[in-house]
Amino acid sequence: MRAAVFHEPGTPLSIESVDDPNPGTGQVVIAVKRCGICGTDLHATEEHDGLLIPGTVMGHEFAGEIVEVGAGCTSEWKSGRKVTGLPSHSCGECLPCKTGRPLQCKNNIIIGLQRSGGFAEYMTLDINNSVLLPDSVDWVEGALIEPLAVGLHAVKMSTDIRGKRVLILGAGPVGLAVALWCRFMGAYHIAVTEPEQLRRESAMRFGADLAIPAGAPTDNLPEIEQAAGGPPDVVFECVGVPGMIAEAVDYARHGGEVMVVGFCARPDTLVPAAAIMKELTARFVVAYDKADFDMIAGLMAMDKLDVAHMCTGTVGFQDFPEAFESLRTPNAHCKIMLDPSASS
């Protein structure tokens, strides 16, 4: 089968022919229909941090169709069913695994980083960490469940968002997902800062009341306060580059909350006194649990979520390495997906 393979930082992914996967006990093989490029993919291919193993097929935002079923799978797991899943190969026996939190398993192997993922024609999934999709959920929606779950988990981990003034730094896929769930869960006012105009427009479609260019808090805060009736109660940092946590602290009101969602793998600095003097609460959140995937799939089945426009580009294997590299520089794209069946 064809796959996009990582070999070393600083070099583009290589489109190669690799062995077809075989299902183990409790696993299925799926034909990948869509797989999105995530900011984590870009970070992982930039640095020698040991997380991404050379020779790995990346991709953890996927949806596909079951084509082969391994031993030990119950009857609902059958060929032809639509499926997505958490990018996790875990033990299945520990408390985190049994309570739908496989990414917290001590033996977890991350699909797309430490084990082959969705930038391929086929991949294997553990049924314990997978979600069957209703027929009404299309492939793009199915592949968006993972980034939507990141945003849902972040909003659920914050203090009750109802009636709150919210500020979101960054309108990439995660920032847009946070905006959607803040609106869904009853936030009073949602402001977003984002340098790209097209992303600001997307933020408004995803539930923001105000979307303004990114800038210094001293410049933007007066406009945000005027629109919202006061400073932000909760600030979600969804960019993931050094300096953004300090910026979130500067934006937050006294006694407010800072939610760190953006994945930053580089050293950062913060003057603690800035947060201390405001008596802020800060929380760092990661990923999601299986209940988040189930909730999103259910809402999609009921036609309660309009998210397909989050996907702003689809490419085949021929153009995939170039599309992947293009996302390293600022651009208006929100989510580019691989369609393994596409001719270009």
pLDDT at 50: 67
Is the pLDDT reported for residue 164 higher than 80?
yes
Percent of the chain with pLDDT over 90: 89
Instruction: Kindly state the DSSP code that residue 272 receives in the 8-state scheme.
Output: H
Q: How sure is the predictor about 48, in pLDDT bands with cuts at 50, 70 and 90?
A: low
Q: How sure is the predictor about 202, in pLDDT bands with cuts at 50, 70 and 90?
A: very high
Average pLDDT over residues 51-70: 94
Predicted confidence (pLDDT) per residue in 256-301, tens digit: 999 999 988 889 999 999 999 999 999 999 999 999 999 999 999 9
Average pLDDT over residues 15-23: 97
Kindly tell me the sign of the dihedral angle through the C-alpha atoms of 73, 79, 84, 87.
Answer: positive
pLDDT at 57: 97
DSSP string, 151-169: HHHHHHHSS--TT-EEEEE
Is-contact 175 203, C-beta < 8 A?
yes
pLDDT at 309: 87
Q: What does the alpha-carbon distance between residue 217 and residue 18 come to, in Å, rounded to a whole number?
A: 49
Q: How sure is the predictor about 117, in pLDDT bands with cuts at 50, 70 and 90?
A: very high
pLDDT at 88: 93
Name the segment(s) of the chain with CATH classification 3.90.180.10. Answer: 2-136+303-338
Q: How sure is the predictor about 10, in pLDDT bands with cuts at 50, 70 and 90?
A: confident
Write down the mean pLDDT value for the chain: 94
Average pLDDT over residues 31-45: 93
Average pLDDT over residues 154-180: 96
pTM: 0.94
Average pLDDT over residues 39-63: 87
Average pLDDT over residues 310-334: 92
Is the pLDDT reported for residue 120 higher than 70?
yes
To which H or E segment does residue 257 belong? Answer: strand 257-260
- Tell me which CATH code domain 149-284 carries: 3.40.50.720
pLDDT at 329: 86
Q: Which of 11, 33, 26, 151 is nearest to 81 (CA)?
A: 33
User: Which structure tokens are listed for 186?
Assistant: 């009853």
Is the pLDDT reported for residue 105 higher than 70?
yes
Q: How sure is the predictor about 97, in pLDDT bands with cuts at 50, 70 and 90?
A: very high
Is-contact 143 300, C-beta < 8 A?
no
Name the segment(s) of the chain with CATH classification 3.40.50.720. Answer: 149-284
Architecture of domain 2-136+303-338: Alpha-Beta Complex (3.90)
Instruction: Kindly state the DSSP code that residue 335 receives in the 8-state scheme.
Output: E
CA 23 from centre of chain: 26
pLDDT at 49: 64
Give the contacts of 151 (CB within 8 A, at least 6 positions apart): 174, 175, 176, 177, 178, 179, 180, 181, 261
Average pLDDT over residues 124-153: 96
Is the pLDDT reported for residue 30 higher than 90?
yes
Q: What does the alpha-carbon distance between residue 36 and residue 142 come to, in Å, rounded to a whole number?
A: 10
The three state secondary structure string of 192-256 is EECCCHHHHHHHHHCCCCEEECCCCHHHHHHHHHHHHCCCCCEEEECCCCCCHHHHHHHHCCCCC
